Amino acid sequence: MFAVHLLAFYFTKLKEDQIKKVDRYLYHMRLSDDVLLDVMARFQAEMVKGLGRDTNPTAAVKMLPSFVRSLPDGSEKGDFLAVDLGGSQFRALQVKVSDVGKQSTQLESKFYPTPKEVFQGNRAELFGYVADCLLDFMESKNLKHKKLPLGFTFSFPCRQTKLEEGVLLNWTKHFKVRGVQGTDVVSSLRKALKKHKGIDVDVLALVNDTVGTMMTCGYDDQRCEVGLIIGTGTNACYMEEMRHIDLVEGDEGRMCINTEWGAFGDDGALDDLRTEFDRELDLGSLNPGKQLFEKMISSLHLGELVRLILLKMTKEGLLFNGKVSTALCTKGKIEMRHMAAMEEYKEGLSNTKEILTELNLFPSEEDCIAVQHVCTIVSFRSANLCAAALAAILTRLRENKKVLRLRTTVGIDGTLYKAHPQYARRLHKVVRRLVPNCDVRFLLSTNGSARGAAMVTAVARRLAAQRKEIDAVLEPFLLSPETLREVKNKMRTELEYGLKRETQGSATVKMLPTYVCGTPDGTEKGKFLALDLGGTNFRVLLVKIRSGRRKSVRMYNKIFAIPLEIMQGTGEELFDHIVHCIADFLEYMGIKGARLPLGFTFSFPCKQASIDKGTLVGWTKGFKATDCEGEDVVDMLREAIKRRNEFDLDIVAVVNDTVGTMMTCGYEDPNCEIGLIAGTGSNVCYMEDMKNIEIVEGNEGKMCINTEWGGFGDNGCIDNIRTEYDKEVDEGSLNPGKQRYEKMTSGMYLGEIVRQILIDLTKRGLLFRGQISESLRKRGIFETKFLSQIESDRLALLQVRQILQQLGLDSTCEDSIIVKEVCGAVSRRAAQLCGAGLAAIVEKKRENRGVEHLQITVGVDGTLYKLHPHFSRVLQETVKELAPRCDVTFMLSEDGSGKGAALITAVAKRLRNVGEN
Ligand code: BG6
Ligand code: BG6
Ligand code: GLC
Ligand code: GLC
């Protein structure tokens, strides 16, 4: 009895001594809670660094956006393929998800070996092999004829810009394939798949295994918002608030971040905790200096750490009587499975003894006790470190949600966690100690990461289908160079019709003579009034022109509003209002009694028989006052002045805004012989040779022609490029069937086209959650200035959203992206069409002059041209492309067309005086 007790005592003592010995030896590997809390704090700082735009480039922990924005919601369904590459096993799978009897998935899979030449060969070999295995799998499951979407679980750090693209940053774990780093792995896989004729697989999503695991577990537990892998490698992902992710536009909702925490410490942040064994292990690895945290944790390395420790202890005579075996000196001889077996405590020391014997080490009882304890310390440190980093993530989640207690679920996978007898229990315990204010459920992934990858693929497929639909809607807005050339040619034909006596009557491009026969020559002088009616603003101006050495133009102007009810009331009301504004202006300028000559910029089509007579052909844009069409607008103005009976004015000239603009610019640049307006409306004038203008007598010199090209297409000649949206806009306008070209190119209508498209996309459920809001029903909400703002490249998505919100459109970030795209398609087409028209004009000018190469200036005005961020550039590019033999300078009119109108008035008055004398 005594002897038995003595033996027991002796044995306990022996055990204690061995344990104390190892504890002393590996003192550095035993981490207290204080140290772990410190590690946790360091990892919190790392996460912030990785998320920041400026700090990310130098951050060790890359915090990679995954473009997974939501957890499974049960609506996912369909048949999917999955490939799971990067863990200890490689497999191909088929996942069937059905939404009936919610949360049911079926999974079939086949494992394939990964020979060394595959994971340490070259790119073509790797992806070729993956494709071959997939093909084999599809054959074995009779899936070859099916078109299936595929989710690609690729468990390495990839920089993603969307779900279906990811550039490999660097290999980790046991992979080192040449030519893959820095390239998109999805396109490599697609390429390899393409080589197999007869299979049609669509790679729709790239997912890290952490993300796949989180999604797999999220399917069963909606609270799951962290994915954790403790296997060959180690890593975690979690749902982060979009507003904290600088690298991705948008601030709404959440996105899963793949932390790539394996690289924690690569910048030296953990150097104080790393031991000589960690350093030695790192030096002998495939990627020295990299994945330092991972190398202290994951199953790929723990066995090797144990081996290095045992080797050193033996060499120092602390184990195996100082006898080192060849096996103990051989890299990789101790694996994680050995550790797991040795730490099976209920087996006592038998497993340990067996394993050490296999390594030719002839262990004593003491040796076995010591070795078992070495394993425990190494695997416990792994669980401790993992717990510290996980605690940091949980704390971040809790703070993001601004709650005192966090209830959450962590989805976990990986052989170390699953197969090691003590690991899971230890990890859970330490986490609960480190973050007592988090109630964590640890949910083991039973299906690997593939089910989750299928979930992500389901979302990706929905997005891809949406993308296709949006592309199809916008496709008619993409004009090919041939189409644009055709537009140019048709415009040219219509210009000729307008000039010819026989065809002029039925021409849609009216080519109205203006009786302006020359550009300013600098001798103009005097004091003039000018009216500028028909653009965004109605203005009254006083223009003082000096000639000779003190040549200058001084202008004073005031903007007046024209209320809608006046624009669309009676003619008398309109002209009375205009005169009322003039009276106000004269008083404002203190020149009430003066009888000044007046130039009237009237930006609507007028048939002129002389410079001071203009019969309104028809209202355009937003005007529709009654009793004006067919009347002389100068007479109407005179009568209104008479009615007011307060002052007298000498109306000398009536001018279109294009003509005023050409004159304004012509004053600075005599080569300016074209005037272009790209604003509320769209129009061009140019100097035409008199001999070509059949409806005006005389063949000498030139006269400015107001083309009124806005009417181009009114005979149906460009109906082939008009979309249903254009037709809708036309039908809802004040002048249906008229000004078809203008309605595709000018500010007053572009917003309306956009609105029609948005309504359609919403009806199709592709925008605004399928809800057509009151604001979207409102005609005219998209003014040119909003289009310009939305399309500005300087604006972040968030600001676009704010603009839309101002307009009463409650949009998500995805909505904002689509709206911006729609605006872009519409305005680009407008600029190209306008460019095609202008190309016809400059080509005609070139032919008129009979030169090989034409140098010409176009004076331009209009809010679309001036404010839109891309319109002018696209317009100019198109002209260059379609009229390569013309060198066109675009000159922006800074002073509006009023100055030009005054100059014309000056000339007309001089000529009239000459005539009178
Ligand atoms: C598997 C997942 O279950 O676990 C893989 O399906 C993952 O995607 C793997 O990579 C991680 O564990 P290990 O131990 O195989 O690296
Ligand atoms: C102004 C001119 O600058 O531009 C007007 O003075 C012209 O005559 C106008 O009608 C055109 O642009 P918008 O965008 O105001 O129609
Ligand atoms: C490595 C990879 C990472 C992966 C982890 C677990 O750390 O870099 O992407 O998630 O291993 O497999
Ligand atoms: C409309 C008018 C035209 C004017 C243009 C630009 O097209 O019909 O006269 O030049 O708008 O304002």
Beta bridge partners of 440: 408
Structure tokens at 644: 């007011």
- Distance (Å, whole) CA 363 – CA 353: 7
User: Residue 522's pLDDT band (boundaries 50, 70, 90)?
Assistant: confident
**Which pLDDT tens digit goes with each residue over 246-267?**
999 877 789 999 999 999 999 9
- Percent over 70 (pLDDT), the chain: 99
> Which one of the ligands is nearest to 416 CA?
1
The verdict on the CB of residue 233 being under 6 Å from ligand 3 is yes
The whole-angstrom distance between residue 68's C-alpha and the CA centroid of its chain comes to 15
CA angle 302, 303, 306 (to 5 degrees): 90
Residue with tokens 């653009």: 535
The protein residue whose alpha carbon is closest to atom 11 in ligand 4 is: 681
Evaluate: CB of 843 within 6 angstroms of ligand 4.
no
DSSP 767-822: SGGG---HHHHSTT-S-HHHHHHHH-TTS-HHHHHHHHHHTT----HHHHHHHHHH
Give the pLDDT confidence score for residue 483 in this predicted structure.
98
DSSP secondary structure string, 217-273? Answer: HHHH-TTEEEEEEESSSEEEEEEEEGGG-TTSS--SSEEEEE--GGGTTTTSTTTTT
Q: Is the pLDDT of residue 370 over 70?
A: yes
Q: Give the C-alpha separation, 214 to 193, whole Å.
A: 28
Residue 101: the pLDDT is 57
pLDDT tens-digit map of 382-415: 999 999 999 999 999 999 999 999 999 999 999 9
Distance (angstroms) between ligand 4 centre and the Cα of 673 equals 18
Both tokens of 446, joined, read 């039973």
CA distances 80 to 20, 227, 408, Å, are 55, 21, 29
HSE (side-chain half, CA atoms, 13 Å) at 78: 21
Is pLDDT of 323 > 90?
Answer: yes
Residues 551, 557, 561, CA angle at the centre, nearest 5°? 155
User: Quick one: 55 exposed, middle or buried, by C-beta within 10 A (0-12, 13-18, 19+)?
Assistant: middle
CA atoms within 13 Å, Cβ hemisphere of 822: 28
Write down the pLDDT at residue 77.
83
Question: Nearest to residue 221, comparing CAs of 95, 97, 74?
Answer: 74
| Mean of all residue pLDDT scores within the chain | 94
Q: Which amino acid is it at 123?
A: R
Mean pLDDT value across residues 680-708:
96
> Which band of pLDDT confidence, cut at 50, 70 and 90, is reported for residue 234?
very high
**In the prediction, which pLDDT does 102 show?**
56
Tell whether ligand 4 has an atom less than 6 A from the beta carbon of residue 681: yes
Q: Is 381's pLDDT higher than 60?
A: yes
**Best mutation site among 510, 606, 621, 709 for ligand 4, i.e. most ligand atoms within 8 A of its Cβ?**
621
- Annotated catalytic residues are 539, 603, 657
pLDDT of residue 681: 97
Whose atoms come closest to the Cα of 337: which ligand? Answer: 1
User: Ligand 4: which atom is nearest the Cα of residue 605?
Assistant: 9
Q: Is the CB of 557 under 6 A from ligand 2?
A: no
Q: pLDDT per residue over 551-588, tens digit each? A: 889 999 999 999 999 999 999 999 999 999 999 999 99
Ligand nearest to the CA of 297: 3
- The answer to whether the CB of 708 is under 6 A from ligand 4 is yes
Give residue 778's pLDDT band: very low, low, confident or very high (50, 70, 90): very high
Burial category of 593 from C-beta neighbours within 10 Å (exposed 0-12, middle 13-18, buried 19 and up): exposed
Question: Would residue 915 be called left, alpha or beta, if left means φ above 0 and alpha means ψ between -120 and 50 degrees?
Answer: alpha
- Residue 1 pLDDT: 58
What would the pLDDT profile of 832-890 be if each residue is shown by its tens digit?
Answer: 999 999 999 999 999 999 999 999 999 999 999 999 999 999 999 999 999 999 999 99
Question: What is the Rg, in whole angstroms, of the alpha carbon atoms belonging to the chain?
Answer: 40
What CA–CA distance (Å, rounded) separates 642 from 65? Answer: 72
Looking at the predicted structure, is the pLDDT value of residue 166 above 60?
A: yes
CA-closest residue to ligand 3 atom 1: 233
Judged by average pLDDT, the poorest of 46-50, 179-183, 679-683, 776-780 is: 776-780
The residue written with tokens 């176009």 in the block is 858
Task: Judge if the beta carbon of residue 155 lies within 6 A of ligand 3.
Answer: yes
Q: Give the pLDDT band (50/70/90) at residue 674.
A: very high
| Residue 259, ligand 3, Cβ within 6 A | no
